[in-house]
């Protein structure tokens, strides 16, 4: 099992910056950043805009540290952060474990 954390960001640069900082700190082993189109209500006003989603892949034992890091460094006032424990193939998990230790 590994943990996949998801969050959305206002720009590609902000998502990549958070990912790079976590990679450098060995809080994650990989990130995937992709463009999304979002609709939401914020402070009573409808918004429809481009955002960037990011998946951050980490170990079960580093997930809480990674979530705290994202929350502390996220550009949004109230970031949406989810995490899910998932089963991956043995070779990928072994690679992650060797990187994150």
pLDDT tens, residue order, the chain (101 aa): 999 999 999 999 999 999 999 999 999 999 999 999 999 999 999 999 999 999 999 999 999 999 999 999 999 999 999 999 999 999 999 999 999 98
Give residue 54's domain range: 2-100
Number of domains in the chain: 1
- CATH number for the domain including 6? 3.30.70.120
SS (H, E, C) the chain: CEEEEEEEECCHHHHHHHHHHHHHCCCCCEEEEEEEEEEEEECCEEEEEEEEEEEEEECHHHHHHHHHHHHHHCCCCCCCEEEEEECCCHHHHHHHHHHHC
Enter the pTM of the model.
0.95
């Amino acid at each position: 099992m590994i943990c996949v954390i998801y969050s959305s960001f206002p720009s590609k640069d902000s998502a990549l910056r958070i990912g790079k900082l976590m990679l450098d700190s060995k809080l994650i082993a990989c990130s995937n950043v992709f463009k999304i189109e979002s609709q939401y209500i914020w402070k009573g006003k409808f918004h429809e805009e481009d955002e960037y989603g990011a998946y951050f892949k980490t170990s079960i034992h580093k997930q809480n540290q990674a979530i705290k890091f994202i929350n502390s460094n996220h550009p949004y006032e109230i970031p949406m952060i989810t995490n899910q424990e998932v089963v991956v193939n043995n070779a990928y998990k072994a690679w992650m474990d060797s990187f994150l230790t």
